[in-house]
Structure formats: C-alpha cells, structure tokens
Structure 1
Amino acid sequence: MGLLKAGAGALGGVLADQWREFFYCESLDADTLVAKGEKRVGKRNSNKKGDDNIISNGSVISVNEGQSMIIVESGKIVEFCAEAGEFVYDNSTEPSIFCGSLGESIKQSFQQVGKRFTFGGEPGKDQRVYYFNTKEITGNKFGTSSPVPFRVTIDESMNYKLSVDLRCNGVYSYKIADPVMFYTNVSGNVEYVYSRSEIDEMLKSELLDALRPAFAQISAMKIMYSEIPAHTKEVTKALAEELKAEWKEKRGIELFAVSINGVSIPEDQRKKITEWEENVMTTNPNIAAARIVGGQTDAMRTAAANEGGMGAMGGFFGMNMAQNAGGMNAGNLFAMGQQQQQSQQQAQQPQAAGWSCECGQTGNTGKFCMNCGKPQASPDGWTCSCGTVNKGRFCQNCGNPKPAGAPTYKCDKCGWEPEDPKNPPKFCPECGDIFDDNDKQ
C-alpha cells in the first residue's frame, strides 16, 4: 500500500469520476488540532459515508496547505503525508512518506511508532484518515498565579545579588511539529475532531512550571527583570529547551513564540534594589563627592532660610561639624576619584618600548644607550664595545676585557647559576662548592 501523487491531467473529467472515493478535510480553524477526514463517494457526488472506515484501492486523498495527513489501520499509522496536493491510494505499492516542511525527523517517529503492514493485498478491517493542523496555534494566555524567584545582579564586581518574587503574564503560541507522535501519545482515534481546549490547561501548567528554570537562564545572562519584555527571543529559546522533553519528544508539540506583556515585583523589593544601586554608585569617589556637595547645598539653603540669625549660624556650624566628624569631605573624594582615573588611564596605556640602561634612561631602541652611550646588556652575557655578546671575561672577537662593574657568578664546578648572578650565596646549593673569584664570569 502507498500514496502516489495524482497527475495534473487526471484531476478532472472522466478519469476523476473513476476514483472510487475522495477523502478531504475542510480548512481547520485555530481551535481544531485534529479532524477525521470526510469521505465522498465519486468525486462529483455529495454523498458522504463517514461511518464506513474502509479505503478502496484507487481512492484519492486531498491535503491542503497547513495540514498533514495520516492513514491508520486498526489503530496503527501506515501512511503519512505533509505535502499539499491530491494523492492516489494504491495497496499494491510500498508505503510512502511525504514529509513536506516537517523535515526528515518525521521519518524517525514513523519508524518508531508506526507499523506498515498489509492483509494479503486486501484492505484492513478498519482504515481511517486523520488531518492535523500544522499552522501556528496562537492566543494562548498565561499568567503566574504564584511568584517566580528571579535573581537580580546589582553589581557583579562586588557580588551584590538579590532574589525577587517575579510575576508576569503574556501569550504564547505552539505548533504540531510531529503529527505521528501527537496521534500516538495525545489524540489517538477521534470520532470527529480533537480541539485545543482538551490540552490547553495541561500545556499552560507545564509552561508555568518551566518558567522557573527558564528565568534562571535569563538571570544568568545579567538581564534585569524589567528588561525581560524586550528579550522575548531569549525567553522563547529558554522555555523551548525546558519544554523539549515534555512537549516535542513526547507529544510532537513545539513552542513557537512567547510574548510577555509585563513583569512586576513587590514594592518593598523594588525599593531595596533602588537602595542597593544607590549604595553601589557611592563606591565611586566622584559620585560620592557629588552627593556630598548636593547635600551641603541643600543644608545651606535650609540654614539660610532660617529667620533667626543664630539659627542660620547654628545650621552652618552643625553642617561643618558633621562634615569634620565624617573624616571625609568632597575635596578629598574628588582627589581620590582623580587618582583612580589617572591609575586607570596609565594601566590602559601601552608600556614604553625599548630597554633601560643602568644610568636610568628608558626607551632605548638601539644597541647603545641614548644618554650615556653604554651598550645594551644581554640577559645571556655582556656586550662588548665592538657589538659582540660574550659570556667570559674577555671578548671573543677583539679580546677586550669585560667592562668593570659588579661581577656575576656561576659555579665553576657544576655550572649552577643563582637567580641574582651578582649576589650569589656563600656555597653552591647543588655541589657545595664555595663561591670565590674562580666563579666570576
């Protein structure tokens, strides 16, 4: 048995009348997920025999856009089609699968739960055609009846974090991505239609359960709770990952989109976040100084508005005492802020290239110091005036002696070199030999 695509030339006229039965399904609305195919004997005859569950050889099955179709024999799926068009049922051919836009993964589901068989070339005892709505099922509202914990990061560098009780509401949409799995585990044989109302409450409950781990992923992205409505793509992806096992793998349903209308947290928690944010701001000396200046300005205005002369003087006196008691004033804070900025700028500036001479000159790029003319010292030895790098006491090129200066040492017995060649220990830690003039380089 199998499905064959009907040729374009056979869709009308005499040949069309020879088709024994014609199975079709009207356009499926947003509330209908599965519908049993209607049977019309003789394509041009309006007589319907919906209770006759037999598909005659040579019958035509029509599939519309946004639909997929399966043929069931005695409760087992034997044919599948997700392409729009008209197909001829032929029980003398091998079973066929038209995946359409649902992809190759549908074949795996078919092999897993479907069963292809024939009855000696004769039709089975019970054959049915079911149509599935593969369009986006929209308008599914949700709202949190109880708060969902959400971690807010106030300042990552100081590890300021706070858990808040988040509430939200919105809408989501889904699609039947695997009709074979949906039929096997959800709808099964239905007499007429399977509507969304039969599964909506279960889907909504599972989506709300998935909000907790999904929001944990959003929080890890350093997204503030108030920014969640602007990150619906991230929320949809996180929810789809959490629902994959229960929805897609078990029921063949895939979360398509999520739109969050609004989020809220308790007022006391919102005030606490604001307070923490203000405290973090004051760790910056410049901002702290600015706040002190603002407070002093307000105090001066209050003192100046005091009608009594002594009252005004007392206000200024008290303000100065409070400032001195704090041990820190705006001027000190501004100075600290300037120092921090300078340190940051210096850290960001690239280090000066070149080498440093013993005389203190830095930034030398040639072989000789631009200040005193001394040659650049080599980490592996000393450089002669002729430019040759040497390790002994005399230049191996011109014979000049090593320039006077602090001598360097290396054990003449085992070859051990101290970390500071100019300041060796009294004895070699490797062989115990005493360091003397024989060890000078």
Structure 2
Amino acid sequence: MGLIKAATSMIGGGLADQWVEVIEPDRLSDTTVLTKGVKVRKDSKRGANKKGTADVLTDGTVVHVYPNMMMLLVDGGKIIDYTAEEGYYTIENNSAPSMLNGSLKEAISETFDRFKYGGVTPQKQQIFYINLQEIKGIRFGTASPLNYFDNFYNAELFLRAHGTYSIKITDPILFYKNAIPHDRTQVEIQDINEQYLAEFLTALQTSINQMSADGERISYVPSKSMALSKYMSQILDDEWRELRGMEIVSVAVASISYTDDSMKLINMRNQGAMLGDPGIREGYVQGAVAEGIKNAGSNPNGATNGFMGVNLGMNAAGGFINQASQNNQAQMQQQAQQAKDSWTCGECGQENQGKFCSNCGSPKPTTTAASIKMKCAACHAVVDLANGVPKFCPECGQPFQAIPLDE
C-alpha cells in the first residue's frame, strides 16, 4: 500500500467528479500540530464518510496535501507511507511506499525505516496531517524568581521573565511517534505543552545563568532575545530534536520584572552612582532643602516649628562646615606661627625653627628690648619701660602717667 502522485491534468472540476473519495485536513489553526484527514464527497459537507466503512481507505482514494504539511498514511497504528510535497496523491494498495520528503532532510527516511509497517493486510487505515509551519506565540512565565548574578551591581539579583517562544517540527515521524498521544486525532500545542513548558523553563534558567556568566547586565536581558534563543537552542534543541523531532526557533522576552529586594538594591546602587557626580549632588541637596521648606510650610504643628526644624538641620549642616573651616584656619595659623618663629643662622645661613641651628649647632640669637626709662608723674619715681608701660606705678600705686626724666 502506497501513494502515487496524481496527474494534475486530471483535476478539472470538483475532485469528487474524478475520484471516489477525497481526503482533506480537518480543523486547522495556527497552533494545530496534528489533525486527521477526513473524507469529502460531492455535494456534501466536510466530515466522515457515512456511506463507507470507517477507517478504511478504498483503492484509488485521493489525498490532498497542502504546503508546509506532512501527510502520514497510517495502517494499524504503523506508518505505511508519507509525503511532505504539496499536491494530490492516489492511494494504491499494490504500490510501494513513495516516501516523498519534500523540503525535509533526507535523514527523515531513516526515521521511517525504524517505524514503518512490517506487515499484512491493513485493518485500520488513517490519514494524519502534521503542521510543518513555525508554531508561534507559545506563552511562558516564571512562577518563581530566577537568580541572576550581575557583575555591575556585584550582587545576586532575582528576576521574573514573561514572553513567548516558537517551535518547528523538523522530524514529523519522530514527533508523531513520541509526542502525539495515539488516541488523539486533533492535537493543539497547548494539549501537549505542559511537559515541554517545564523543560523550557528549566532550560531558560540555565540560559539566563549562562548570560550572567558571560557578563551581561541584567537590564540588557530583554534586548537579548536573539542571544537567548541561541542559548536555548544549545541547551534544548539536541534533546528535543532527538527525542521528539522538534526544535526551538525563537524566544521573545516581553518583560523582565525584579523582586522588591532586588529593586531596592538596584535603586540604591544607581542613586549612589548619581550622587558621585558633584553637579548632581549639588542639585540633589538644593532639591532636598526646597522640599524641606515646602513640607515645613504645611507642618501640622505650625509653620514656625517646621521652619525651626529646617533651620536646625541647616545649622547642623552649617556646623559641620564651620568646624571644617575652623580646622582649616587653625592649620593656617599654625603654619604662620611656624614661619614667624623661623630664624636664619648668622654663622652658616641655615633656616631654622628650633633654638639651635640644625646645620652648625649655633644657638638662636636672643633679642632684648631697648631700655626706655620714664618718671611717674605722681611720685617722680624712675620706671623702666623695656617690658611695656604699666597701668599703675610700681612705687606709689597711682595710675601711671609717664613724664620725661628731665622734668
């Protein structure tokens, strides 16, 4: 039993005018991965052939294969023949399998050899169509946060990812044998996606960890969909291709959200980086002061108390500034005093600070005030003014008023 490609010249009007039965795909949608072929007769709606024996394909039945589909001729649960080339085919019980691969790789014939029908007169004959188009819009979301070590923040952050991914069936025979429940004749991707989604999320965690190891910033993850697809392909494609005959085509990350703790850490790090800029820091301080004055005006305890608080805060800040200024001034005075106390050695010319020359050991020269003597106007006692003018006469105790010695 096999397929023979029908001559297109025979296709004129309705197909039922040329052949006894015509097989067409049943329900198809963008998410359909497998559907059963149903018989169509002239002047009848699509559906099962009520006049013939159920699940028996008569000799000469025509099968219509559309683009981006693979048709499987199944007999007793075993695959008898297949084709991935669009067109019309006639079922002939005495024909050998045609095995028309179409755009699929030649390696699919090896899969057919592993699962082909070995036997005898068929008992249950069915046509199945497998969708070879890219199955898009498969949603995913992380139920629990994924850990991500970011070298920029030097911290372990946690994120949640949401988006969609798409798959493509590359080995329909393997997919039919290992991924499709054999009691189903209509399968959508959602019907079989639970296990694959769990595997996908596991691979997503591995891929995101790999991006972290490669030094990617956590904020760049949404823009790295193509790189993420590549990571996912490296992790999942070999396994999915070998076990189920399908592979991942693309991954689109729609949104990345951080946990509250991670968000606080990111904001704190970003604020610290911004305040490192003097211009931004000055603007931040001025804005904070303006906000404080605004809040003081609406203080429920009275604007006066509010402004007092603002003044206290500003005075406290000013106190720090004044303290720093005083420290600066003291340091400058100390330097000035040191300059004042310096002297030059008369023996060798060395500039010194102490009592002896650091070069030759000569003592620092002493200076004596000139002796100036005046008389007290009250008692005419002679007083030496070398150490300064006294307020009171040391002899009579009266307020000192100096007069020349000759008076």
Q: 1:183 aligns with which of 173, 176, 198?
A: 176
CA contact (8 A) 2:26 2:35 kept: no
- Give the share of equivalent positions with the same residue, in percent: 31
The answer on 1:28 being equivalent to 2:32 is no
Look up the match of 1:261: 254
Look up the match of 2:6: 6
What TM-score, normalized by structure 2, do the two folds share? 0.63
Aligned-residue offset at 1:27: 5.4
Q: 1:316 aligns with which of 293, 300, 321?
A: 321
Aligned-residue offset at 1:129: 0.8
| Corresponding letter in the other structure for 1:48 | N
Q: Mapping of 1:98-177 within 5 angstroms?
A: 98-111=100-113, 113-117=114-118, 119=120, 123-154=121-152, 161-177=154-170
Aligned-residue offset at 1:292: 10
| Corresponding letter in the other structure for 1:114 | F
Distance 2:158 2:14 in 1: 70
SS of the aligned residue for 1:28 comes to coil
Shifted more, 183-192 versus 81-90: the winner is 183-192
CA contact (8 A) 1:236 1:258 kept: yes
SS of the aligned residue for 2:103 comes to helix
CA contact (8 A) 2:171 2:245 kept: yes
Distance 1:175 1:86 in 2: 24
SS of the aligned residue for 1:93 comes to coil
Aligned-residue offset at 1:233: 0.9
Distance 1:134 1:15 in 2: 25
Q: Mapping of 1:20-99 within 5 angstroms?
A: 20-26=20-26, 28-40=28-40, 48-49=49-50, 52-99=54-101
| Corresponding letter in the other structure for 1:11 | I
| Corresponding letter in the other structure for 1:201 | E
| Corresponding letter in the other structure for 2:6 | A
Q: 1:186 to 1:14 in 2, by over 3 A?
A: closer
Aligned-residue offset at 1:161: 3.3
What TM-score, normalized by structure 1, do the two folds share? 0.59
CA contact (8 A) 1:306 1:312 kept: no
Look up the match of 2:396: none
| Corresponding letter in the other structure for 2:32 | T
Distance 2:14 2:283 in 1: 99
CA contact (8 A) 1:68 1:81 kept: yes
Q: C-alpha offsets along residues 6-32 of structure 1, whole Å, 9 cap, x if unaligned?
A: 111111369974534321114511343
Look up the match of 1:363: none
Q: 1:25 to 1:298 in 2, by over 3 A?
A: closer
Distance 1:214 1:254 in 2: 16
Distance 1:218 1:323 in 2: 52
| Corresponding letter in the other structure for 2:321 | F
Distance 1:323 1:77 in 2: 94
Q: C-alpha offsets along residues 320-349 of structure 1, whole Å, 9 cap, x if unaligned?
A: 57999xxxxxxxxxxxxxxxxxxxxxxxxx
Q: Mapping of 1:235-246 within 5 angstroms?
A: 235-246=228-239
Distance 1:241 1:323 in 2: 64
CA contact (8 A) 1:35 1:130 kept: yes
Look up the match of 1:400: none
CA contact (8 A) 2:75 2:117 kept: no
CA contact (8 A) 1:171 1:260 kept: yes
CA contact (8 A) 1:10 1:16 kept: no
Aligned-residue offset at 1:142: 1.9
CA contact (8 A) 1:225 1:263 kept: no
Q: 1:152 to 1:29 in 2, by over 3 A?
A: same
CA contact (8 A) 2:166 2:251 kept: yes
Number of residue pairs the alignment of both structures matches: 305
RMSD: 3.9
CA contact (8 A) 1:296 1:319 kept: no
Considering only CA atoms, is the larger Rg found in Structure 1 or Structure 2? 2
Q: 1:141 to 1:296 in 2, by over 3 A?
A: closer
SS of the aligned residue for 1:169 comes to strand
Aligned-residue offset at 1:87: 0.9
Distance 2:101 2:262 in 1: 52
CA contact (8 A) 1:148 1:211 kept: no
Q: Mapping of 1:299-314 within 5 angstroms?
A: 314=319
Distance 1:293 1:25 in 2: 67
SS of the aligned residue for 2:151 comes to strand
Aligned-residue offset at 1:116: 4.3
Look up the match of 2:191: 198
The answer on 1:222 being equivalent to 2:215 is yes
SS of the aligned residue for 1:199 comes to helix
Give unmatched runs, 5+ long, in structure 1: 155-159, 325-441
Q: 1:69 to 1:316 in 2, by over 3 A?
A: same
Aligned-residue offset at 1:270: 3.5
CA contact (8 A) 1:53 1:128 kept: yes
Aligned-residue offset at 1:180: 0.8
Distance 1:101 1:258 in 2: 24
Q: 2:224 aligns with which of 207, 219, 231?
A: 231
CA contact (8 A) 1:57 1:91 kept: yes
SS of the aligned residue for 2:4 comes to strand
Aligned-residue offset at 1:86: 0.6
